[in-house]
Every structure is written in structure tokens, then in C-alpha cells.
Homo-oligomer: A and B are copies of this chain.
Amino acid sequence: MSLKPATFRAMAAATGEPVGPAFPVHGPADVAAACAAAAEAFPVYRATSLAARATFLETIADEILGIGDALIEAAMTESGLPRARLEGERGRTVSQLRLFADVVRKGAWQQLRIDSALPDRQPLPRPDLRMRMVPLGPVAVFGASNFPLAFSTAGGDTASALAAGCPVVVKGHPAHPQTGDLVAGAIARAVAACGLPAGTFGHVTGPDHALGEALVTDPRIAAVGFTGSRGGGLALLHLAQARPVPIPVYAEMSSINPVLLLPEALKARGPELGTAFVGSLTMGAGQFCTNPGLVLAIAGDGLDAFLEAAADAVAAAPAQTMLTPGICRAYAGGVAALESLPDVEVVARGAPGTPAQGMAALLRTDASAFLAQPAMGHEVFGASSLVVVCADEAELRRVLSGLEGQLTATLHMDQGDLALAQRLLPLLEDKAGRILANGWPTGVEVCHAMVHGGPFPATSDARGTSVGSLAIDRFLRPVCYQNLAAELLPPVLRDESSGDGAPRLIDGSLTL
């Protein structure tokens, strides 16, 4: 055995060369230590007041901002993403933490319910029953490569789990170890500043899958948050289900985000739609979970104009550095595989670049070919999209019905398309977590009404969202208290309390 622990370094996205300091390759003992610390912290952390927990989340936000430009520079080098995008991501992450602080303070997430005793009820009296949500326990969060700030160490999963009262152990993404280390340091400083147990937040790092396997199978972990590939998400899901005590896995995995071009919209503004579509397609080198990888159109006026404008925009799109050399290779391979399928026509390719850069790709096929070849419906992670031309509404419905679950479904429509859109809507609701009109799926707002989720395989659990304030619900479970003395009840459930501002369902009536 070596006396010196193994280390690894980041690879610069642009060059594939090692860059930055060395980080530890954690092993099973490190994972066990982090999980033990999280389990020890849990009873203390879950008992924090809502005010204290909210302040903690805000302190994390402040500490992340306090890192300053070093964070942006590390993320730029490691991810290849440009400064403006990463500054935007940092702003999003910070406001996400502040949103959850506000959610925690308002307290509605506790879902307080009181059913009063009915001592005189016949044939049997009703006892006093009160309910609230409690946190599940320590949560394992897997950092995502594609949003090194917004979906990684202090991203939506971490923020929502901490808001719920769950300690978090993050498995840092090996594609951005320095970015992750800086953010983990900020969280650790917030933990210390707020006087919380050190195990409230843990961070393990290393390049191998074994690390994540050890984390998901640790008996102290109570739930998992993950954003990444379908293969990775399914592997974690299967590990979690095979545990002696199975646990929930919230894996956001795979989506091609169909964009429907309805006839009147296409007729009215095919060229504008084509240009705008490519803006969404190539955003962030196409490395959004909500990247529009599938366009569905009914053959008719405007489709050629749409394709021409989109082809021009794709041809003019510069190659972009992808997150890792591996992702770039997988992208090139995915496009090549699509191109090689029968009845697929290449409409346009973007400009070539360095070996680390991805070239945008626009392909075209028809509905019958798409229906016959399920491989056409698989996600290609990057700026590639397939236009599927349908003969009529019936064929469009068949294509939609055959799709797997999606994060989003987009309608481009005019007033004259309304009846068609109304007919399609129930099907879209069954297929996707978010339905949008006359926009593009690549922006995911952090707010109360957002759903970044959807039926399998978009996620492993369609009952949740990984973005927006509803994400907190994933890490909670209900507990009922029957005839407990007031001293034993959580203060917000006592008679003399008004819920500290949280709504309460009292005898079936919601009381603010």
C-alpha cells in the first residue's frame, strides 16, 4: 500500500491536458466516513429552526459569491464554457439558494395538518391527529458535468435537500474538480459559520464509478439526486433498488425534447423559427438537458423555408468546446450513427473546429422511418437535432405516442393552430414534465411553477422536479402524531401556534 493517497487532476476542456492542482481520489473508507458524519449530523441539522436553516442557505450563497472570479476562471478552464454563461450560472445558483431560504422560512413545505379530537363521536371517538413532513435523512448528490455551478456541488439537488433538513454528501464531478472543490469549501465555511455539525455537508472526489457505487449503497444514505447520462442514472437506480433497504433515486437522465412546428406557425414564420431554433440548439454547445433534439413538423407550407433558414444557421454555427474530450467523442459518434441510419439526410453541419469541439448537426427523416427505427429517438448529447416530417396529424400523433418520456415538449403555434394544439395537449401532458408554447426549451426558470422532470427515462421518478421550489418535496416524508402531549408536538403543530406563518389544514380547511 502506498503511504501517499492517490490523486487526480482536471483536464482542460479545450486541450485535454491536465490542469490545476491535484485532488484526492477518495475510496470506500472516505465515503463511509462522510456518510457516518452525515448520519451523526442529521438529528442536529433536522432540528434547526427554519430561520437558522434559511440563514445557512443564504450564507452558502454569500460564500460562493465570496470566492470571486477564481470560481469563474476554474469553471471556464475545466468546462470550456464561456465566462458569461458561467457568471449567469453562478447568479442562478445563488438565487436558487436564496429562493429555498425563502421557501424554508414560509414553511408551506411542512404540509401541516391538524384533525381535532372528536371525543363524543359515535360509535368511536376520534383521536387528535396532527401531521407534518420530516426529512428523509442524508442525501447523496451527484454533481453534473453540464452545469458546473447550477447542477453540481451547490446546485438544485443540494439546495433542495439541505432546505428539507437533509445533510448532503456530494460526489463531485471529475470533469470539474477545482470548481467543485471551491464550491464545497464555500459550503463548509457556511456550515462552520452557522455552527452546524461538520457532517451537514460532505464532499468526496475521484474519477472512478466505484466512488458513486459506494455512496449509493452506504446504508446511511436515504435518497439520491443525480443529473447525467441514462447509463449512469440507471446504474445508480439499480444499485439503490438492490439495497437491503431500497431508497428513492431522482435521476434526471435523458430527453430529446420534441419541438412541434404546427402548420399555421410554420406557414407564417418558417424562416424566423429556423434561425431561432438553431440558437436554442447550439446554446452551450448543445449540452443542455432540454436541448431540442427532435423537431416534428407536418409537411406543408413553410417547412422548406424553416429548413433552409435552420441549415444556414447551422452551417454558420462555430464549433464549440465541449465539456470533456469523452463527451465530444460520444457526440461525434452519436451524430455519425444517426447519419448512417437509412432514410436520414444530413441537412447541414456546423463549422469544424479543434478535436475538443463539437460541430452542430441538423438531420432529417420522415415519420415512417422514425417509427421503424427506435434508435432515432435516443438522445445524442450535444448540438444535434433530427427533423421528422409527418404526412398529417395522424402520423404526428403516432410519432408522439411512440416517444419515451421527456423533460419538455414545445409547441410553435399561431391562433389557427389552436384546435390542433388542444387535441395534442393531453398526449403531451402524458409525455413531458413541461409544455411550452412559442419559445425554446433551453431556459429552465428557477421558480415555484417550474417542473424539470418528466416520465421515464427523462427522469427515474416522474413525481418530482429537480429545479424549482417543488424540488424540496422529493426529500420529505409524512409523520402523524396521535394524541401527543403539546410538549412533544413540533411547535408549529401546537394549538397555541399559528404555524409560524405556514399554512395549516385544520379539520379539512386551509388556514393561513
Contacts and interface: CB of A to CB of B under 8 A. Distances in A.
B478 A127 contact: no
A476 interface: yes
B478 A433 contact: yes
Interface string A433-469: 1111111000101011111010111001111110001
B488 A418 contact: yes
A445 B480 CA distance: 11
Nearest to A432: B479
Contacts of A469: 508
Nearest to A42: B430
Interface in A324-355: none
Contacts of A460: 246
Given A129-B450, A429-B479, A435-B479, A115 B445 contact: yes
A131 B245 contact: no
Copies of this chain in the oligomer: 2
B451 A479 contact: yes
A167 to B, nearest CB: 13
Contacts of A470: 111, 113, 131, 478
Interface residues of A, number: 80
A131 B482 contact: no
B108 A483 contact: no
A265 to B, nearest CB: 12
A482 B434 contact: yes
Contact of A439 (B246, B248, B483): B483
28 contacts: A115-B447, A126-B445, A129-B447, A241-B241, A245-B455, A245-B456, A245-B457, A413-B485, A418-B487, A422-B488, A425-B488, A429-B479, A434-B479, A435-B481, A435-B482, A437-B483, A437-B484, A438-B483, A439-B482, A449-B480, A449-B505, A451-B478, A455-B477, A463-B476, A463-B477, A463-B478, A470-B478, A510-B510
Interface of A: 43, 46-47, 88, 102, 106, 108, 111, 113-115, 123-124, 126-127, 129-131, 134, 136-137, 237, 241, 245-246, 248, 405, 413, 418, 421-422, 425-426, 429-430, 432-439, 443, 445, 447-451, 453, 455-457, 460-465, 469-470, 476-485, 487-488, 503, 505, 507-508, 510, 512
